[in-house]
Structure 1
Amino acid sequence: MQIRELSVPGAFEITPVQHHDDRGVFLEWFKGPSLAEAIGHPFDLQQANCSVSAAGSLRGIHFADVPPGQAKYVTCLSGSVYDVVVDIRVGSPTFGAWDAVLLDTSDRRAIYIPEGAGHAFLALEDGSTVAYLCSTGYAPGREHGIDPLDPTVGVRWPTTTPDGTELSLLISEKDRAAPSLMQARDSGLLPLAVDVQTYLDGLIN
């Protein structure tokens, strides 16, 4: 298993070792000790989610209040998605920056989204199935969103499927109505980098 930190601090790309034979393939897509070594504390699994999306479905940018936030360990079991992490921690040197990992059934990578970061993905194929391991359970009152098409963030979303077919975006009304990054910041909706770090320091101790 190879773990690489992304340009958003605290977010990681995980590439597993795949073992192929005549029967198919086997891999370890999550290893607690390896992840804990990378992020500096154990990952406290509290909920596992699964979504199945049509090509063009854009989900996010979602985040949760910190503390406790919600860290996510995400992989794609079928199809492919363009998975994005956004630094929305006010006061972070990389505030507003984003990075992305292609999750598919070829490399079978995963992405780790830390507490206090925004998360979104675009399904590139029909039936794209995404599995999320979450550090906290879903809490509606503490969950928020940012406009995934906000030009200030400027995510360069793919425009075609892997076979070259043009994608038509499917976005929920809730996500379409989400504020921009700066609107969310000015309204006090975003987590503060210092609060996130304080929370993470508590996990280490």
Structure 2
Amino acid sequence: MDLSASTVLVTGANRGLGRALAAELLARGATVYAGARNPDQIDLLGAKPIALDITDPASVAAAAQATGDVTVLINNAGSATGTDLLTGDLDNIRLELDTHYYGTLSVVRAFAPQIAANGGGAILNILSVLSWVTFPEHGAYCAAKSAQWSLTNALRLQLADQGIRVAGLHVGYMDTDMVRTIEAPKADPADVARIAVDGIAADAYEILADDPARQIQPALAGGVSALYPQLP
């Protein structure tokens, strides 16, 4: 895919990976809509700020109505409440699902017809290694990301005949505000953005952005004992 001839919508583009993705795309000559709940927070020269709250159907519909030329959609907006499934607040669990699953689905349903009408293109869902393996203390996030991975698999099958290639990016911790309190090795969002955009350009279906993703993917074939060796 020639990204210099593409018009891309990036959700959650006001900070973190979303901002890095928008910057990388702009550097490659793409036209970029930078989506954020508060578009005044978009500070990238050349980006087109657009109001977009992916959990608000009216906001999603308004964003689709305000564009019309999108050929690539990157579903990056996310949340992380740090909620345990057994003891955590159910509202936080619902928020994770509303954001990562229903929010992503809502945006895809709004923009896939636009992408198809413009001759086809691509959708990239920003997933996580936690769509493949679960940390109980972040059970709500993991469940939502697993649902988003399943959504990605379904969409790539359903949208293929419309000329829309649906990809998923799997990544571990990145050096962003979302995980600022976690002590662990973290990837540079700019590096992840470059790998993600390379993957879109190469028409990849699955993009593994760092060592944790590359290590966990083959462990899936080993079953529960490979993923959770701590179990008796």
Short-chain TM bin: under 0.3
More strand by share: 1
Higher RCO (CA 8 Å, separation ≥ 6 residues) = 1
More helix by share: 2
State TM-score, norm by structure 2: 0.26
